[in-house]
Amino acid sequence: MNVRNIFFLVAFAVMTVCMRGEEANPIAGYEGLFDTWGRFNRESAGCVVVIDLTDPADLPKNLARPGGMFRLRSVTDRMTALSGLDCYCFHYTQLKRTSLAKPIVKAIIVRPPSPAKLLSCMAARDEFWAMLRETRTPVIGFCGGFHQIYLAFGGKCGDMRRLAPGEVDPNSSYSPGFLKEWGFTKVRLLKRDPLFDGLGPEIQVLQQHVSECKQLPDQFEVLASSDACWVQVIKHKTHLIYGTQFHPEAYDNDHPDGKRILQNFFRIAGINGKTNR
């Protein structure tokens, strides 16, 4: 049996598990990639939590790629370095709406990968969305995480427009024929906000998307935009919930704006960046 057939069988099995409801475990066999509730429940110091949105069917495929789940661990390592707090990582299917309702959780980070489509494990998705609506812990989501935030409040998403004849596709292996933003691109700030402290009117950040927000719920406002995609940064009007279409976590020495955004978010969340260890 070839690798492609194995991935198909795993995806079918995961889909079946997700449709059974809450008792099944869609990440069975891959629990070691994520933190356990036993360790988390023993925690007494302040911490931040990363929620991973990888479709369970994609876990074996991601592990088979060079570097495996290195990108996941690189995100948690960066969140620890920037916040100064221990960082826990849970898959969204591990969560109930009250799982993170503890005073020690100082911030929640919702990370991709996740297409803008609805998450495949529907019972877990509903609990996750309820958590986003009910939490009063500061939240920020990137790219696929950004989409899930406004979807949880009733928003709508979809693919960007089709490419016009002669337009160049920056990544033809991903949703070929559709407009997409790819690589480090410019984003304009529309409104000043503490999230943008220390930044100019235009930032340069990593984009890797074909999906966009088609309808933003009334509870949110747009803080930044680009020529190709109007909704680049959103903020809830009454709760500390932010979302970015781009990837601020993927900064480097030549493109530090994403790092500044994350530092500002942790400061807004009341985290001083000093280690608790």
The distance from CA 180 to its chain's CA centroid, rounded to whole angstroms, is 18
Which residues neighbour 239 within 8 Å (Cβ) at sequence distance 6 or greater?
135, 136, 139
pLDDT above 50: residue 15: no
Mean pLDDT of the chain: 89
Least confident range of 35-39, 54-58, 135-139? 54-58
pLDDT 10s digits, 146-161: 999 999 999 999 999 9
Which of 127, 181, 212, 249 is catalytic? The answer is 249
Whether 143 is catalytic is yes
pLDDT at 167 over 70: yes
Structural fold of domain 140-259 = Rossmann fold (3.40.50)
Q: Does the structure show a pLDDT above 50 at 47?
A: yes
Least confident of 23-27, 75-79, 248-252: 23-27
**Could you tell me the pTM of the whole model?**
0.90
Q: Active site residue: 87, 143, 157, 213, which one? A: 143
Report yes or no: 80 and 249 within 8 Å, Cβ to Cβ.
Answer: no
Q: How far apart are CA 126 and CA 131, in angstroms?
A: 9
Q: Where are the domains of the chain?
A: 1-137, 140-259
pLDDT interval class at 125 (50, 70, 90): very high
> Given 147, 209, 236, 247, which residue is catalytic?
247
What separation in angstroms does the CA of 24 have from each of 17, 55, 96, 111, 152?
A: 6, 15, 14, 23, 23
**pLDDT by residue (tens digit) across 197-252?**
999 999 999 999 999 999 999 999 999 999 999 999 999 999 999 999 999 999 99
Has residue 16 got a pLDDT over 50? Answer: no
State the pLDDT at residue 220. Answer: 98
Active site residue 249: yes
Q: Annotated catalytic, 247?
A: yes
